[in-house]
Amino acid sequence: MLYTRKQRTKLHFFHYYFGHGRLLALLRIAGGPLLMIMAMKLRFAPQQYDLVLLNMLFILGVYALGRPVVTMMTSWKNLRTIELKTEVKEDALYINENGYELKIPLQEFKSIKKQISYFRFNLNKWQGFSIPDSFFSSKDFDNIYNFTKKRK
């Protein structure tokens, strides 16, 4: 099954904004614009504030707003269209990407989370990958569910 660049980009943005909980989603969506508005309001306020501090606040707001685009542009080469096949057996996740086979034992995952339209496989706190649920069969869903149920 083809996993297109458009699908991967859409999944990246969705996971960045909504994959880490409601509070962080709110901060990521509203944080950058709020910092920029706050800097502009303080810049034209009657009291004098340090101009360097206001400029840094504005730059931080621009960075917070543009960070997902910057990460997409730096990893654009890695988000190419690939041929992806997945299979989940009782002991491992098998991924076949462009003819290369990878077997990852399910015990190696710190967590497996079902999000709205994809599964998030976390190897540790900072490393993980996401695969859309359309790449899994109903048997694979059952194997993932049984493994996560056994783990708890």
pLDDT in tens, 104-126: 999 999 989 888 889 999 998 88
Residue 68 pLDDT level (bands cut at 50, 70, 90)? confident
Residue with tokens 């462009």: 98
Write down the pLDDT at residue 152: 66
- Pairwise CA distance, residues 105 & 88, whole Å: 10
Q: Which residue has the higher pLDDT, 48 or 84?
A: 84
What value does the CA radius of gyration of the chain take, rounded to a whole number of Å? 20
Handedness of CA 31, 32, 33, 35 (dihedral sign): positive
Three-state DSSP state, 48: coil
Give the alpha-carbon dihedral of 3, 74, 68, 50, to 10 degrees. Answer: 180
Per-domain residue ranges of the chain: 2-78, 82-151
Q: What is the mean pLDDT of the segment spanning 52-62?
A: 92
Write down the pLDDT at residue 105: 92
